[in-house]
Amino acid sequence: MPTVEYYIEAVSSLHTDKGRSRYPAVTKHRAPHKPLLLLSVLDLIDERTIKENLIELSPELGETFSLYWNIVMPPDKKGKIVYPFFHLRKESFWHLLPKPGKEDILNSTHEISSVYRLLDLIIGAKFDDEFFHLVLNKEQRKFFRSIIIEKYFDDSIREQLLIQSKINVDSYDYSIKLLRKNYKLKEAFSAGDDYKEKVRDQGFRKAVVTAYNHRCAFCGIRMRTPDGHTVVDGAHIIPWSESHNDLPQNGLSLCKLCHWTFDEGLLSVSDKYKIITSRRLHSNENIAGHLITFDNREIFKPSEIYLWPSLLSLEYHRTRKFRKK
């Protein structure tokens, strides 16, 4: 049976690409894909999103991977979770689980660049059972997380990665609380506390887009990729700076165009949950396109009535932000 020392060595000797021209100093000029995927899996175990030894290529895993990626890689370098998810099979503790009848195809496949292609072949992946039972323990997760960060990342970025791990877990817990029926905000997040602001912001967004099932409340668009990208944002109705209210009832799930238009006061919502359009959309300077068709259209709401937008918050927006003329 493999020992703890065996898994320390396995995690410390991942097969990774190297190149000073391809990878920055903070990743020790090595591809960060595999280490970041492992950190993401540990976070989802912390969140209890992963409870059994089945690691699915889910949007939640992809989103967590992207949060880490954006810390260590330049903006022009796009990270694709499909690469480490597939190529970790070269490591002794990671096993892809093929769909029935796809075993031979998976075994003969050497490169995959599409998440959809990989999902066509696999159910997910799993750790060695011994390794999974190790990292179910909180202290062991902390131990292996520190090994990964120290081995594959420069000292200048390590603390930031550890903080992001805590943000990921704490914001998930915060989002779960926000989605509870009759939940009352008990903690006032103070402006200027960078850590708490990130937890609050990430948790609010997660709660709102979950409540709306990643659909824009105005235009109805819903686009979410298996690697964690979504077309919508969580928009406060009354700005947090004025309300300190992160409840989903003070939020709307909006695509970026609708979000901007709402914040600019060119769209609002009536007390009957119908969209109101500003006359400014029709000005000669604007080409508002499909936005002008929204007038008097009912918004798309969460399936749970208690998560519908607060009428008081909507009234605030109509009276304080909406540009009638």
For residue 213, which of 324, 81, 307, 314 has the smallest C-alpha distance?
307
Residue 285 to residue 277: CA distance in whole angstroms: 16
Residue 226 pLDDT level (bands cut at 50, 70, 90): confident
Task: Tell me if 266 is assigned to some domain.
Answer: yes
Contact 106, 95 (CB under 8 A): no
Residue 7 pLDDT level (bands cut at 50, 70, 90): very high
Q: What is the DSSP string of 249-273?
A: GGEEEEEHHHHHHHHTTSEEE-TTS
Residue 50 pLDDT level (bands cut at 50, 70, 90): very high
| Structural domain range at position 315 | 179-320
Residue 208, phi-psi category: left (phi > 0), alpha (psi -120 to 50), beta (remainder): alpha
CA distances from 170 to 38, 164, 165, 188 (A): 18, 10, 9, 15
312 and 265 both lie in a single domain: yes
Question: Among the three residues 120, 155, 190, which one is the final residue of a domain in this structure?
Answer: 155
16 and 99 both lie in a single domain: yes
CA distances from 67 to 34, 155, 226 (A): 14, 19, 15
Average pLDDT value over all residues in the chain: 93
Give bridge partners of residue 230 from the DSSP assignment: 224
The whole-number pLDDT of residue 190 equals 58
Q: What is the pTM of this model?
A: 0.90
Tens digit of each residue's pLDDT (9 = 90 or more) over 57-103: 999 999 999 999 999 999 999 889 999 999 999 999 999 999 999 99
Contact 304, 321 (CB under 8 A): no
The length of the chain in residues reads 325
Residue 178 is encoded by which pair of tokens?
């926000």
More confident residue, 224 or 14: 14
Q: What is the DSSP string of 200-211?
A: HHHHHHHHHHHH
Question: How large is the average pLDDT for residues 304-314?
Answer: 97
Q: Say how many domains are in the chain.
A: 2
Residue 192 pLDDT level (bands cut at 50, 70, 90): low
Residue 246 to residue 230: CA distance in whole angstroms: 20
Task: Tell me if 147 is assigned to some domain.
Answer: yes
137 and 219 both lie in a single domain: no
Question: How large is the average pLDDT for residues 128-134?
Answer: 97
CA distances from 194 to 41, 182, 189 (A): 25, 28, 10
Task: Tell me if 287 is assigned to some domain.
Answer: yes
Tens digit of each residue's pLDDT (9 = 90 or more) over 132-185: 999 999 999 999 999 999 999 999 999 999 999 999 999 999 999 999 998 988
Tens digit of each residue's pLDDT (9 = 90 or more) over 116-125: 999 999 999 9
Task: Tell me if 215 is assigned to some domain.
Answer: yes
The whole-number pLDDT of residue 118 equals 95
Which residue type is seen at 73? M
22 and 97 both lie in a single domain: yes
Tens digit of each residue's pLDDT (9 = 90 or more) over 238-249: 999 899 999 999
Give bridge partners of residue 94 from the DSSP assignment: 127
The whole-number pLDDT of residue 285 equals 77
Task: Tell me if 309 is assigned to some domain.
Answer: yes
Residue 41 to residue 111: CA distance in whole angstroms: 22
Maximal C-alpha separation, the chain = 74
Question: Among the three residues 123, 155, 187, which one is the final residue of a domain in this structure?
Answer: 155
pLDDT surpasses 80 at 309? yes
- In the chain, DSSP finds a helix count (H) and a strand count (E) of 13, 6
pLDDT surpasses 60 at 191? no
236 and 144 both lie in a single domain: no
Residue with tokens 């970041």: 36
Contact 275, 267 (CB under 8 A): yes
The whole-number pLDDT of residue 324 equals 81
**Counting beta carbons within 10 angstroms of the beta carbon of residue 102, is it exposed (0 to 12), middle (13 to 18) or buried (19 or more)?**
middle
Cα 219 vs. chain centroid, distance in angstroms? 22
Contact 24, 154 (CB under 8 A): no
74 and 137 both lie in a single domain: yes
Burial of 35-71, coded b for 16+ CB within 10 Å and e otherwise, reads: bbbbbbbbbbbbbebbeebebbbbbbbbbbbbbbbeb
Question: How large is the average pLDDT for residues 212-217?
Answer: 96
Q: What is the CA radius of gyration of the chain?
A: 22
The DSSP H or E segment spanning 83 is helix 82-87
pLDDT surpasses 70 at 187? no
Residue 277 to residue 323: CA distance in whole angstroms: 9
134 and 261 both lie in a single domain: no
208 and 135 both lie in a single domain: no
143 and 186 both lie in a single domain: no
